[in-house]
Every structure is written in C-alpha cells, then in structure tokens.
Amino acid sequence: MEHTKEAAVLGGTLFLGLVLGGWMLGSQIKAIKLADRYVAVRGLAERNVKSDLAIWTLTVSASGDDYASVLHQAADGKDKTVAFLTSAGIQQNEIAVASPDVTDKQAREYGNNDKGPRYLVSQQVVVTSPRVDAVSAANAKTASLLDQGVMLGRNQVQYKFSSLNSIKPDMISEATKNAREAAERFAADSGSKVGAIRSASQGQFSISAPNEGGAEPNPYGGDNGDSSMMKKVRVVTSTDYYLEK
C-alpha cells in the first residue's frame, strides 16, 4: 500500500514537472520568436548651409633671362596682389605669402636645350578668411590684376563649412525621428506596434554641393563641392526596432 502511495506521489510530481517545464520552454520559445520580430529602418536628415570659410590660393609668376629683373617682377606682382586683396575687404592677417620658388632651366641636367626664358619664379599668396562673400567678389575681379601686368597662374577658391559640430545633434535627432516614423508606418501596415530599439548606428556626415550626393567627410566635412559656396549636409542613421503585437 505504501509503495502504491509513493508511486502515485512520484508520478504526480513528474507530471507537474513536465507541465511546468513545458510551460517554461514554451515561454522561452515565445520570447525568442518575439525577439526575432523587428524592422530595420534608415533615417535621413539633410540641410543646406552656407560656407563659413574660404581658402583662396593665387600664384603670381614671372619669367625672364635676367635673374634680378625676374625677382623684381615677381615681387611687384606679389605686392599688387596683396594690395588688390586688402582693397577688396580682406584683412591683412588673413593673407599669407609664401617664399618665391625659383627655377633655373639651365641648371637642369637635361634642360640645356630648352628654349624660352631661363628663370621662372612663382610665389603663392594664400587667403584664409571667413569673409566668403568678399572672397567671392574679389575672385570675380582678378582680371584687374592682369590689366596691371600681374601674371597669375593657379587661382583657385575652396569654400568650406567648418561648423559641422554645431548642427550635428539636431541633425541626428531629425534622422532618428525620421527612422522612427518609417518604422511606425511599417508596423501599422503589418498590424504591429513599434517597441524598443534593438540596435542603432549613426552614419557618417557628408558635405557636398547642393546638387551632389553624399561624400566622405574630412575635417571640414569633405572635399566635395569645394567650388560651391552653398553646401548640402547629410547624415543617415540605421536603427532596428522590435515589433510588438
């Protein structure tokens, strides 16, 4: 009789254990299935901004057969260029003048048969200024330097946007909001609700001309579209949201 009771108790315990074990396993499987239900979305934020820094490189050149005369011609061209820039509203401390680069064609190993002037002198004048409008206006008037006899070689303006950090937080918020809205639209179509964030990653910021696509960033946000004063700042975020019933 005692053996029968013990067997009954043992059987009941095993049954209860199987029931509880099955319930717990079922709960785990359900949790795993729910955890697998998520949607991956991307959020985009774009802004058009105006450059706040101009880097303008002008190369003054001179050539001739008399060394002293060529140096004097180059120095005169440099002085006229600096005067032109300051008269255009560019500050003296925004102008840097490099040392002249002199080439003697007869000093070259294989240059003895070269025709033309013996000496070539070039000197760079570099403007680094936040006065982007003044630089743009001056760049459009460089023909006046040619009228004064100044020989200009390279004459390139690069426009940069250096205040990226000041707009990063707001743009990340905009991109995150945009991603959430995309997830909610998907959830509504599938009869679900958007839950917690499963994972998230912030894409790189890019700066380009307004009519160009994204680009790799550099300290100023990228070397793309440098000839354009207006820029397009762009960031894309990637976020996974859990979906709930």
Residue 235 bridge partners (DSSP): 45
Count CB atoms within 10 A of the CB of residue 61.
Answer: 19
Beta-carbon contacts of 23 under 8 Å, excluding residues fewer than 6 positions away, are none
Q: What is the pLDDT of residue 155?
A: 85
Q: What is the pLDDT of residue 111?
A: 53
Which part of the chain has CATH 3.30.110.170? 33-50+163-244
Q: What is the pLDDT of residue 210?
A: 87
User: How many residues comprise the chain?
Assistant: 245
Percent of the chain as helix, strand, coil, to the nearest 5? 40, 35, 25
Alpha-carbon gap, residue 102 to 61, rounded angstroms: 10
Q: What is the pLDDT of residue 28?
A: 32
Count CB atoms within 10 A of the CB of residue 245.
Answer: 8
The CATH class that applies to domain 53-160 reads alpha beta
Q: Is 110 helix (H, G, I), strand (E, B) or coil?
A: coil
Which part of the chain has CATH 3.30.70? 53-160
Q: DSSP secondary-structure letter at 98?
A: P
pLDDT in tens, 232-244: 999 999 999 999 8
Q: What is the pLDDT of residue 23?
A: 39
CA 191 to chain centre: 39
Q: What is the pLDDT of residue 27?
A: 36
Q: What is the pLDDT of residue 46?
A: 96
Of 116, 96, 97, the closest CA to residue 106 belongs to 116
The CATH class that applies to domain 33-50+163-244 reads alpha beta
Of 165, 161, 152, the closest CA to residue 208 belongs to 161
- Ranges under pLDDT 70 in the chain: 1-35, 108-114, 213-224
Of 193, 234, 178, 185, the closest CA to residue 211 belongs to 234
Q: What is the pLDDT of residue 112?
A: 59
**φ/ψ (deg, to 5) at 243:** -105, 135
